[in-house]
Amino acid sequence: MGKRNGQDAPSSGDRTRAALIEAGLKLFGEKGFAATSTREIAARANANIGSIAYHFGGKEKLRDACAGHIVATIRTIADPVLERLPVPADPATAEAQFRLAAERMAGFMIAGPEVQDFVQFILREVQQPTRAFDIIYEGLIEAVHRRLCHVWAAATGDDPDSEATSIMVFTVIGQIVYFRIAREVVMRRMGWREIGPAQARLIVTTALDNVMAALSARRERKP
């Protein structure tokens, strides 16, 4: 096996598997699971049609692998500032951790090149949940949301398990996700031809200012 930058280069099988996941994400998101044939997936991945069964055991297992890829990719963004760090006891440190986590996720969600396929895939699953939705919910949504609730609570003094805290964190996430889901709306209204690095920085900065203002206001209302 060859080396690339001091690491083992992906094998032919690994490259085929990755290409099939990429094709599955795009086609399942664009057309839906039922309307996407294994032949279309294989053609888009430039792979043999039998490779789907060989690598995944069929189209449904490929859909599960696509969900797992979404979870793994986004967790690499969130985990370094959430799961791998303890929840701070100090409110100021907790606020800084919350901001950093939100900033990392916002930057990825708004500017990440592969995120559009992720969002379309997830929206399909939200509308018609399958095992793939369970994978995304259990491995990503619940885990990240729960952790953010605890960091928010450490920063504000709120109860991490309260409905109010859960809704507040969903509001923060929704504010970020909106700019990806409504990308075309935002560009047309803003007169932008694209959402490039400069536009993404402006969105992230504004969104985070709103989040931090809400956090500070909540903390100030505490007795």
What the block records as the tokens of 54 is 């060989």
Rounded Cα distance, 174 and 181, in Å? 10
**Count of residues in the chain:** 223
Question: How sure is the predictor about 108, in pLDDT bands with cuts at 50, 70 and 90?
Answer: confident
- Assigned architecture for domain 1-57: Orthogonal Bundle (1.10)
What's the confidence (pLDDT) of residue 93? Answer: 93
3-class SS shares of the chain: helix, strand, coil, % to 5: 75, 0, 20
CATH numeric code, 64-220: 1.10.357.10
Domain-wise residue ranges, the chain: 1-57, 64-220
208 pLDDT exceeds 80?
yes
pLDDT, tens digit, 9 for 90 and up, residues 140-195: 999 999 999 999 999 999 999 999 999 999 998 998 889 989 999 999 999 999 88
Question: How sure is the predictor about 45, in pLDDT bands with cuts at 50, 70 and 90?
Answer: very high
Q: Once rounded to an integer, what is the mean pLDDT over residues 82-108?
A: 89
Question: How sure is the predictor about 133, in pLDDT bands with cuts at 50, 70 and 90?
Answer: very high
Q: Once rounded to an integer, what is the mean pLDDT over residues 19-30?
A: 97
Q: Do domains 1-57 and 64-220 have the same CATH topology?
A: no
Residue with tokens 């998101």: 29
What Å distances lie between residue 181 and 100, 110, 116, 174, 178, CA to CA?
Answer: 22, 9, 8, 10, 5
Rounded Cα distance, 90 and 95, in Å? 9
How many of the other CB atoms lie within 10 Å of CB of 34? 9
pTM of the model: 0.87
